[in-house]
Structure 1
Amino acid sequence: MSGRTAGDLVERVAARRSFSRVTPAAPSHDELLPLVAAAGRVADHSALHPWRIIELRGDARVRLGKSFVKDAQVAGEAADKLASKPLRSALLLAIVSVRTKNEKVPGWEQDAVASGVAHILSLLLHDAGWGVIWRTGHHTRSKAVHRMHGLAKNERLLGWLYVGGVPDESREGHRKSVDAERFLSVLD
């Protein structure tokens, strides 16, 4: 483990936080590949690999904003504000669950695998020094947004990882620790 201990990993995971604002910097496609490969090692019943990730950069983010507006059917200033949301980050990673008919692995479990990939990827991106926030919401269920992403009928959009550089003023922030005793119980 190249000199790292399990305690190091716990500390790095505990340091993870969401960054609602990021700088325009972003990892390249080639920098993403090993991170996606590692995230793909998530527990996956029957090794279905029921997920995929779509990179959105540049004009793809503009098209996503337009699909938000089409979905919301708003105009004027409200439309401009909504259309600009995907421009908050130079890189968006759309997290897609790809459901396959399988007698052993129900749809919810396939969604959980895709969600696990997204979370591990967000941890890996954070550990690599990138700012990340996972954004979800009603737009993930929009027909216009699904068409814009080219999703098939068996695919569900779980949200987007907004990825960018960490602003200097954000480097010192931290999340409040979880009270593990509240969430971990023992069955006698």
Structure 2
Amino acid sequence: MSALDAVRARHSWSRVTDVAPTREELLTLVAAAGRVADHSSLRPWRLIELRGEDRMALGKAMAKAQGDKEPSPKPLRAPLLIAVVASFRKSDKVPRWEQEAVASGVAHTLSLLLDEAGWGVIWRTGHYTRSKAVAKAHGLQKNEELLGWLYVGGKPVGKKPGRRKSVDASAMLTRMPTKAQKKTK
């Protein structure tokens, strides 16, 4: 399958089965995802693997952030969660936004690789990513921010992935305005 075919075939899977890639399988895909464009090779990202009881600990942290007594069941929706962390580095050349873009690029590339390898994946974000209780549960440092989690599991047989509308590429890809166009605005 070509990269174009893999990207065109990718879908988010909001429901997955209880099987997940092994750590060894994951390491291979993470190594490939880490090849994204990275100005100055800062590697301003890291990933945290959550399996088993780790997901319950996250559920408790989410409950604490929300002021609930019972752990949130959200982390139990997939057997593997991969926390995506922007780990900002000091740099005179690479601004913070660009470092966050690298971390996001790693996450998206990893989601494509997981999908192409046959796994169901969805990238979940939300207000919990900025919660102190959730940051503490992940062991985040002062220079780090949680960008969300890749929920990973098996693709259910007979189920369809989430729907994604087609992109009107001609509307999204524009040209630089000419001098005449700039004067009319």
- Is 2:166 aligned against 1:177? yes
SS at match of 2:102: helix
Pairwise mapping of residues 12-23 of structure 1 onto structure 2 (< 5 A)?
12-23=6-17
Alpha carbons 1:65, 1:85 under 8 Å: kept: yes
1:86: how far off?
A: 0.1
Q: Which has the larger radius of gyration?
A: 2
What CA distance in whole angstroms lies between the structure 1 residues aligned with 2:61 and 2:163? 34
- TM-score, normalised by the number of residues in structure 1: 0.90
Match of 2:43 in 1: 49
Deviation digits for residues 72-104 of structure 1 (CA, Å, limit 9, x no counterpart): 0024xxx45xx1100000000000000011110
> 31, 42, 59: which one pairs with 2:53?
59
Please name the residue that 1:128 is paired with: 117
Superposed, 1:22-171 pairs within 5 Å as 22-75=16-69, 79=70, 83-171=72-160
CA distance in 2 between counterparts of 1:42 and 1:172 reads: 26
SS in 2 for 1:169: coil
Residue 169 of structure 1: how far off its partner (Å): 2.3
Distance 1:155 1:173, change over 3 A: closer
- State the secondary structure of the residue aligned to 1:170: coil
Give aligned pairs, total.
177
Deviates more, 1:169-178 or 1:8-17: 169-178
Unaligned runs of 5+ in 1: none
Secondary structure of residue in 2 paired with 1:34: helix
Q: What amino acid maps onto 1:30 in structure 2?
A: E
Which secondary structure does the structure 2 equivalent of 1:56 belong to? strand
TM-score (norm 2): 0.91
Checking the alignment, whether the CA contact within 8 Å between 1:14 and 1:177 is kept in structure 2 is no
Which structure has the highest helix share of the two?
Answer: 1
Change in CA separation of 1:60 and 1:172 when aligned onto 2, cut-off 3 Å: closer
Look up the SS of the partner of 2:175 in the other structure. coil
